[in-house]
């Protein structure tokens, strides 16, 4: 070897061939994952469809069984939904930061992402317990706000039992969001499967027409069943995460160790969560304000609105929700890769880079548009009055539900698209996600909420106004989120979007 050049002399013969073989030997190229694997877009979509479909199916069946017990009590079951809406403010705070923080697999190590997920679960558990205590203390006030007066007294116990979902749903939300961001959507599927199986078995044994024993089923029994199933499914998901998923993810780390939570990890999660929490608080507060006004119209309208939402937000909405989760996960991955390639807080992005980042959202938009359009046309032709009667056991409620459907169901096409576009902002710039939501709610929903509060609407015209409010909100929100997404992309190309430090030392 020549010490001046640090190079080997050229030698002819077999030694050279051996040396060339040693130098040019290439490592094995890892095989690309199969399209249906959990860490691919298609694989995650299939897992997410299963995770969302099972609860939607059960919620539909539960209304049917309650209608068989006492059709007047169907509206009481909606308090479970409205408590869920209040808890949603909590569940859309920290968990929604998962896509930006835990989903960033380009600038964070697997060890860091697992610790962040663990910290999120612990924090959500504490917050959920606090919310449960508050709900139990305010159960009578909750019943007076969201249950019609004629069935209010019989609903207090149901409200108290439903309050426990604050802690179970908080843990479930943290587990679902963090594991989806970790490319493990099988955890939400495990939770949904456990809940569905236990719910169906207990409902059949206790409150269905073929229940065992000689007792008369009551709505309180249904609340107890939900409490048991929520607790069992959440525990199943937690155990599966701590045993199977953690072990699976730690295979990619050099030094597997126990999960750790820390104040610094919590601060990392809280920073983007400020925007998601504020967005959810404003949106859900206005929504509950409007729902409270509908409930004041009487039991028939309150029940019809609950039945409408059961049908619309049941199995029909499953693909949209599954697409949103896959969009959030993979846009979050692409955004993390973009950040890893930049060493400045305000980088510029080309059109090609932006299109690459939002490619999962574009695919989701295309699928959602086709699905929602087909469902809108099909259900408009067939109608849903008979199905609404099946769920409510009331001809009046079924007719009101049919009217609601004809008035506003077509606007959910815009909601399906809106959800995927908003997911781009949520997975990349939560501040922009907050901006578009505040603009939509303050310019449309809030003014209308004030109008229906200060104006006494006759029942003959009341639903006309509410159809304009709820249907118009979806169309108006679609316009606003598109404007926000275009402006976000333009400012990113101009280098005016703040991107936090790319490479981190975890």
Distance of alpha carbon 136 from alpha carbon 158, whole angstroms: 11
* 69-97 pLDDT per residue, tens: 655 555 566 666 677 778 888 888 899 99
The mean of the pLDDT values for the chain is 82
Q: What mean pLDDT is predicted for residues 322-339?
A: 93
Structural Rg of the chain based on CA atoms? 26
Write the burial class of residue 155 (CB in 10 Å: 0-12 exposed, 13-18 middle, 19+ buried): buried
Helix (H, G, I), strand (E, B) or coil at 2: strand
* 289-303 pLDDT per residue, tens: 887 777 677 777 877
Look at the pTM and tell me if it is higher than 0.85.
Answer: no
Among 30-39, 163-172, 215-224, the least confident range? 30-39
**What is the predicted pLDDT for the residue at 254?**
61
Helix (H, G, I), strand (E, B) or coil at 218: coil
At 13, the pLDDT band (50, 70, 90 cuts) reads: very low
Q: Kindly state the tokens that stand for 363.
A: 């695919």
**What is the predicted pLDDT for the residue at 39?**
80
Distance of alpha carbon 157 from alpha carbon 376, whole angstroms: 38
Please say if the pLDDT value at position 343 is more than 70: yes
Of residues 37 and 491, which shows the higher confidence score?
Answer: 491
Residues 323, 364 contacting (CB under 8 angstroms): yes
Of residues 338 and 144, which shows the higher confidence score?
Answer: 338
Which of 363, 355, 356 lies closest to 323 in space, CA to CA? 363
Distance of alpha carbon 147 from alpha carbon 291, whole angstroms: 11
Q: What mean pLDDT is predicted for residues 464-486?
A: 92
Please say if the pLDDT value at position 261 is more than 50: yes
- 7 has which bridge partners? 2
Q: Name every residue whose Cβ is closer than 8 Å to that of residue 452 and which is 6 or more positions away in sequence.
A: 290, 293, 465, 466, 469
* 129-182 pLDDT per residue, tens: 998 998 888 877 776 766 666 556 666 777 788 888 889 999 999 999 999 999
Among 331-335, 374-378, 423-427, 486-490, the least confident range? 374-378
Please say if the pLDDT value at position 392 is more than 70: yes
Please say if the pLDDT value at position 502 is more than 60: no
Q: What mean pLDDT is predicted for residues 173-197?
A: 93
Residues 164, 128 contacting (CB under 8 angstroms): no
**What is the predicted pLDDT for the residue at 434?**
93
- In this structure, how many other beta carbons lie within 10 angstroms of the beta carbon of residue 453? 12
Please say if the pLDDT value at position 3 is more than 50: no
446-454 and 263-295 helices, crossing angle to 10°? 40
Q: Name every residue whose Cβ is closer than 8 Å to that of residue 151 and which is 6 or more positions away in sequence.
A: 72, 73, 75, 76, 299
Please say if the pLDDT value at position 35 is more than 90: no
Distance of alpha carbon 82 from alpha carbon 284, whole angstroms: 10
Please say if the pLDDT value at position 266 is more than 90: yes
**What is the predicted pLDDT for the residue at 25?**
44
Residue 432 Cα distances to 274, 316, 331, 343, 470, angstroms = 12, 29, 15, 22, 23
As a residue count, the chain comes to 506
Of residues 152 and 41, which shows the higher confidence score?
Answer: 41
Please say if the pLDDT value at position 262 is more than 60: yes
**What is the predicted pLDDT for the residue at 1?**
45
- 2 has which bridge partners? 7
- 204 has which bridge partners? none
């Amino acid at each position: 070897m020549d010490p001046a050049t640090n190079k080997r002399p050229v030698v002819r013969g077999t030694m050279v061939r051996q040396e060339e073989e040693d130098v040019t030997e290439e490592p094995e190229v890892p095989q690309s994952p199969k399209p249906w694997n959990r860490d691919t877009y298609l694989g995650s979509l299939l897992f997410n469809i299963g995770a969302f479909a099972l609860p939607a199916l059960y919620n539909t069946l539960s209304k049917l069984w309650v209608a068989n017990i006492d059709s007047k009590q169907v509206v009481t079951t909606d308090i479970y939904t409205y408590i869920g809406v209040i808890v949603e403010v909590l569940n859309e705070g920290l968990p929604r930061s998962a896509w930006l923080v835990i989903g960033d697999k380009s600038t964070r190590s697997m060890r860091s992402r697992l610790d962040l997920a663990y910290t999120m679960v612990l924090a959500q558990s504490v917050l959920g317990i606090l919310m449960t205590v508050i709900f139990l203390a305010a159960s009578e006030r909750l019943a007076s706000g969201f249950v019609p007066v004629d069935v209010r007294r019989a609903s207090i116990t149901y409200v108290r039992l439903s309050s426990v979902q604050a802690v179970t749903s908080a843990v479930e939300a943290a587990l679902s969001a963090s594991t989806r961001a970790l490319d493990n959507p099988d955890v939400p599927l495990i939770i949904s499967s456990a809940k569905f199986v236990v719910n169906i078995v207990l409902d059949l044994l206790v409150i269905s027409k073929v229940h065992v024993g000689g007792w008369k089923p009551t709505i309180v029994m249904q609340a107890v069943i939900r409490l048991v199933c929520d607790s069992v499914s959440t525990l199943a998901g937690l155990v599966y995460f701590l045993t199977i998923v953690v072990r699976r993810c730690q295979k990619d780390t050099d030094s597997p160790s126990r999960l750790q939570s820390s104040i610094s990890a919590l601060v990392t999660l809280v920073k983007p969560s400020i925007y998601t929490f504020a967005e959810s608080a404003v949106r859900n507060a206005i929504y509950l304000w409007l729902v409270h006004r509908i409930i004041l119209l009487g039991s028939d309208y309150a029940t019809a609105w609950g039945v409408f939402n059961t049908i619309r937000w049941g199995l029909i909405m499953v693909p949209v929700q599954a697409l949103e989760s896959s969009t959030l996960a993979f846009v979050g991955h692409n955004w993390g890769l973009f950040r890893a390639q930049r060493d400045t807080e305000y980088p510029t992005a080309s059109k090609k880079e932006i299109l690459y980042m939002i490619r999962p959202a574009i695919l989701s938009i295309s699928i959602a548009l086709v699905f929602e359009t087909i469902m809108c046309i099909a259900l408009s032709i067939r109608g849903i009055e008979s199905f609404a009667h099946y769920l409510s056991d009331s001809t009046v409620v079924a007719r009101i539900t049919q009217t609601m459907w004809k008035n506003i169901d077509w606007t959910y096409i815009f909601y399906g698209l809106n959800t995927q576009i908003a997911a781009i902002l949520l997975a990349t710039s939560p501040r922009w996600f907050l901006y578009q939501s505040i603009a939509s709610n303050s310019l449309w929903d809030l003014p209308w909420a004030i109008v229906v509060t200060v104006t006494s609407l006759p029942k003959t015209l009341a639903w006309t106004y509410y159809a304009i409010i709820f249907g118009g909100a979806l169309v108006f929100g679609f316009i606003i989120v598109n404007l926000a997404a275009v402006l976000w992309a333009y400012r990113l190309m101009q280098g005016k979007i703040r991107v936090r430090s790319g490479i981190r030392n975890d």
